[in-house]
Amino acid sequence: MRKSWVLVVVFLWAVLTSVTALGKGTITFWLMPNAPDETHIPWLEEKAKEFEAQTGYKVNFEVIGWGEAWQKISVALASQTGPDVFQVGTTWNPQFAATGGLERLDLAEFGGAEAFMKANYISTTYKGESYGVPWFAETRCLFYNKDMFAKAGVQPPATYDELKVVGKKIVETFGEGSAIAIAGTNAWDLLHNWAIVLWAYGGDLLTPDNEQAAFNGEAGVTAMKWYASLILDGLAAKACAEYNQPQADAAFINGNVAMCFMGPWNIAGIEQENPDLPYDVVEPPAGPVKRASFSGGSNLVILKGSPNKEAAKEWIKFLLSKENLVDYTKNLSHMLPAKIEAFEDPYYNTGVWQVFKKTLGYATAYPPLAVWGDIENAVVREFRNILTAVASGHYSEDTVRLYLDKAAEKVNEALARER
C-alpha cells in the first residue's frame, strides 16, 4: 500500500513539473516548410537553443504543410489555443486579423513600419492597425532560357507587347507552345499571374476606396485578353489551361519552354532538377502604364489568447535580427527578407537577386480586407471559366468581358459583406 502512495506522489510531481515546463517560459511556434526538412529542422533547433540561452524562453516549433495550415490556424483562432506565434501567408493576415483572434501589434517594437518593405507592411494591416510582422517576401519575375533566346535571335522583352513578338519568333524556331509556360485552372495562385498584367495596363482589382470591383474596366479586359492570347496565339501550350503553377514551372525548368513567371524559390528547384539550365531573370515586362509585380511572402503573428506574448514578441525579434533573417532567407528559404536592413547584405547585389530586389521595390499587395478570400475566389473562378473557354475552343471576342463582369458582380456582393 505504501509503495503505491509513493508512486502516486512521484507521478503527480512529474505531471506538475511538466505542466510548469509547458506553461510560463515556453512558446509554441508554427511555421510552414519554408526549406527542405534536412536543413530547416537543424537550423530551427539550433536557433531555439540559442534563443533559450539568450532569453531563458524555450521554443517548441512545429512545421505544418501549406495544405493543412489554413485549417489548423482556423481551429487555433476559434479555440484560441495551440501556437503562441505562427507564420501566415501575406494574403491571409488581414483575414485572420478580422476574426479578432490575432494580437494587435505595435510595429515600433519591431523597428517601425518604415523598416519593412512597404507592400509587406500593408499585408499585416487590417483597418489601419498591424496584426503581424513581415518576415520574408517574394515576388515573381520573368525567367528566360538564354540558349533558346539566342537560337531564336531575340532579346528578353521589356514590354508585354514585345513579349508577344519575341514569343512568336521562338515559336517559329521551336514549335507551338514553346515560348512561355503559364499557370492555368489548377493553380491556386492564379490571380497573382494576372494581377501583375492588370496593374501594368493601368487597371486595379478594386476602386481606391476598396468599395467596388474595378478589374472589369477597359484595362482589365485588355490585360485578360493578353493573358488568353498567349494560349490562343500558340505561344503557350493549350495544356497550360489546366496547369498548376509547379507544372508551368517544370515545363520551363526541364528546358522545354523559353519563358516563365517564377519566384526566387524556383532557383533551388532549378539547381536540383536541371542545374545546367542556361537561364537568367529579368523584371516583369512593362505594360502601357507601368511595370508591376505581385508582393507575397509570409508574416509572423501572435495568437490573441497566448499566455506568453512577451516571449512570442522576443522570438519574432530574434528571427528578424539582421543576421538570422539574412541567414534564413539566403541559405534556407531562398526568399527575400521583408526587412529593408537585411538587403545591406552584399549577397542581394549579386546576379538574379538584384533583379528580385528591384522588382520587390515596386511590388503591390492585395487590399487588406476580411472578405479578400471571397474576392479572390470569385475572380479566380471566372478566370478559370475564361481559360476553360480558351482550351475548349469556345472563346470569342466577348468571353473576357462577360466573365469579368460576372466576377465583378460577385466581388461586389462580397464587398457588401465587409464590415
Partner 1 sequence: MSSQARGRRAFKFILPALLCMLFVHIIPIFWGAYIAFIDLDIYTITRWMQAPFVGLRNFFTVFSPATDVGVRYLRSIWNVVYFGLITIPAGYFIGLLVALLLNRKFFGRTLVRGLILLPYITPDSVAYNVWRFIFQARIGIVNKYLLALGLIEEPIIWLVGDRAIYAVMIASVWKGWPFACLVLLAGLQSIPQELYEAAKIDGASSFGLFRFVTFPMLRPVSATLLLLSAIWNFHAFNQFYILLGADPGKTHVPSTFILQEAFTNFHFGQGAAMSVFLTVVVLLMTVAILRVRRRGEEW
Q: In what order do the strands lie in the sheet with 336-337?
A: 58-63, 26-31, 85-89, 296-302, 133-138, 336-337
Cell 539550365: give the residue: 277
What is the distance between the alpha carbons of residues 73 and 87, in angstroms, rounded to a whole number?
Answer: 10
The residue (of 259 and 370) whose beta carbon lies closer to partner 1 is: 370
Closest by Cα among 213, 151, 176, 203 to 418: 213
Q: HSE, CB side, 13 Å, CA atoms: give it for residue 93.
A: 38
Closest by Cα among 198, 227, 364 to 288: 198
Q: Does the protein bind partner 1 through residue 304 (CB under 8 A)?
A: yes
Q: Does the protein bind partner 1 through residue 182 (CB under 8 A)?
A: no
CB of 418 to partner 1, least distance (A): 10
Tally DSSP H helices, then E strands, for the chain.
16, 14
Residue from the set 64, 152, 230, 237 that interacts with partner 1 by CB under 8 A: 237
Span near partner 1 by CB under 8 A; candidates 7-15, 162-170, 217-225, 239-247: 239-247
Residue from the set 26, 269, 373, 402 that interacts with partner 1 by CB under 8 A: 373
3-state SS class at 205: coil
Q: Does the protein bind partner 1 through residue 281 (CB under 8 A)?
A: no
The residue (of 159 and 186) whose beta carbon lies closer to partner 1 is: 186
Task: Please return the burial class of 73, using the count of CB atoms within 10 Å of its CB with bins 0-12, 13-18 and 19+.
Answer: buried
Which residues inside 92-131 make contact with partner 1, applying CB under 8 A?
95, 98-101
The residue (of 59 and 407) whose beta carbon lies closer to partner 1 is: 407
Assess contact for 83 and 101: CB atoms under 8 A: no
- C-alpha angle with apex 265: 259 to 266, nearest 5 degrees? 35
| Binding residue count for partner 1, defined by CB under 8 A | 39
The residue (of 142 and 380) whose beta carbon lies closer to partner 1 is: 380
CB of 29 to partner 1, least distance (A): 21
Residue from the set 378, 379, 404, 408 that interacts with partner 1 by CB under 8 A: 378
Q: Which residues are near partner 1 by CB under 8 A?
A: 70-71, 74, 77-78, 80, 95, 98-101, 184-186, 188, 237-239, 241-242, 244, 304, 370-371, 373-374, 377-378, 380-381, 384-385, 387-388, 391-392, 410, 413, 419
